[in-house]
């Protein structure tokens, strides 16, 4: 899997204002900015991202994923 493929999978399941994906093909990190995260706790946000991947996490197609999630307002105030 490529970073572009992983980014497309996540973006297909969550309306993203911004998304970054980096990794080596098995170990990934992502930053996802979405208004859908408003009012959700961190765990709930991460569950939404994992849900977009479905069985890919269970089949080891994506071995590890580090997630940072923000609402657009949080992202605007975050140094990047």
Residue range of the domain that includes 23: 3-76
Q: What domain count does the chain have?
A: 1
Q: In the predicted model, is pLDDT for residue 40 greater than 80?
A: yes
* Under 8 Å between Cβ of 68 and 16: no
In the structure, how many helices (H) and strands (E) does the chain have? 3, 3
Residues 58-73 pLDDT 10s:
787 788 899 999 999 9
pLDDT at position 26 is: 82
Q: What is the dihedral of CA 52, 18, 40, 55, to 10 degrees?
A: 10
CATH code of the domain covering residue 64: 3.30.300.90
Q: In the predicted model, is pLDDT for residue 42 greater than 80?
A: yes
* Predicted model pTM: 0.91
């Amino acid at each position: 899997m490529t970073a572009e493929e992983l980014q497309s999978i996540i973006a297909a399941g969550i309306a993203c204002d911004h998304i970054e994906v980096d990794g080596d093909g098995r170990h990934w990190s992502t930053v996802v900015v979405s208004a859908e995260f408003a009012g959700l706790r961190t765990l709930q946000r991460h569950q939404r991202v994992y849900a977009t991947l479905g069985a890919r996490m269970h089949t080891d197609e994506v071995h590890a994923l580090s997630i940072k999630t923000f609402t657009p307002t949080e992202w605007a105030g975050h140094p990047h």
